[in-house]
Amino acid sequence: MDTYFSFFRIRFHIGLQYRAASFTALITQFLWGLMECLAYKALLDTNAVAFPMEFSALVSYIWLKEAFLALFTTWMTDNDIFSMIMDGGIAYELCRPISIYNMWFSKNIGSRLAAAALRCGPIIIAALLLPEPYKLMFPKNLVSLILFLITMFLGLCVTVAFCMQVYMLSFFTISPQGLRMVLTGAVEFLSGAIIPLPFIPNPIRGFIELLPFASMQNVPLRIYGGDLVGITMIKAISLQMFWIVALILLGKVLCKLAERRVVVQGG
């Protein structure tokens, strides 16, 4: 365990060095979040009856989505891993007397937490200073805040566990580009990154909420704003824990299969 924590710590410290890139990204994310708030406000003014969320909960969802984008977005993968798989550098990883799955999982957690740490603070502070109804609201009570933090970590684990499937499946393809585009593009919609899941019609939404993608950012962001409560919230948290276990087990199986068939050209 200490070995994998070391990989996490190293990648976290490396990620903290990219301050200029993070500064540029957080400006983009803040402006995008503001644009989304204005667009949904126009939609609310047009047809308030059909609006499926309280506007304050929706605004909180948008700002937290932008603040913690690095934790939940699936297109933010580790290009070094794909390069190692494609150019044969994976041979050095396989020589280590440790699990490459656990090592890559730890590194991915560290990278995402570092990127989020650099961006979340300024975005949250700026969102709190905006005038109503566009400002980020505080959670309704302490319990909601605690559950938000817990489910945010669970959502991060689901996201990384899913990305690990993409890494492992790359062993079985000539190029991972097509695989990355299809899987990450679909997840952006199914996880609520493009539009919150409550805006999707109910029969379809009921099915989507059973998928692992709804256990990423959808659960913690809706808990924070009070849109997810009671038995529905308990079921959502249970699904988060289920998908963490299921995806990790599947990833480890794929990792074992990949290690058996990997071929390094020239050696």
Q: Per the structure, how many domains does the chain have?
A: 1
In this structure, is residue 193 part of a structural domain?
Answer: yes
Could you tell me if residue 95 is inside a domain? yes
User: Which is more confident, 131 or 184?
Assistant: 131
Whether residue 170 lies inside any domain: the answer is yes
- C-alpha distances (whole Å) from 35 to each of 121, 145, 177 are 19, 26, 30
Q: What is the pLDDT of residue 267?
A: 47
Tokens 């304050």, located at residue: 56
Spatial distance between the Cα atoms of 75 and 12, rounded to a whole number of angstroms? 19
Q: What residues make up the domain containing 148?
A: 2-261
- For 202-234, write each residue's pLDDT tens digit: 888 889 999 999 999 999 999 998 888 889 999
Residue 154, token pair as written in the block: 């669970």
Across residues 60-80, what is the average pLDDT? 87
Residue 266 located in a structural domain: no
99 domain residue, yes or no: yes
Q: According to the model, what pLDDT value does residue 253 have?
A: 92
Q: What is the DSSP letter of 191?
A: T
pLDDT at 90 over 80: no
Query: What is the SS3 assignment for 198?
Result: helix
In the chain, the percentage of residues whose pLDDT exceeds 90 is 28
pLDDT at 49 over 80: no
Q: Is the pTM of this model over 0.85?
A: yes
267 located within any domain: no
The token pair at 214 is 């709804």
Among residues 260, 227, 256, 255, which one has the least CA distance to residue 56? Answer: 227
Q: Which residue has the higher pLDDT, 26 or 190?
A: 190
What is the chain's mean pLDDT, rounded? Answer: 85
What are the start-end ranges of the H helices in the chain?
A: 2-15, 19-46, 55-67, 69-72, 79-87, 90-94, 100-129, 142-169, 177-190, 202-208, 218-225, 230-261
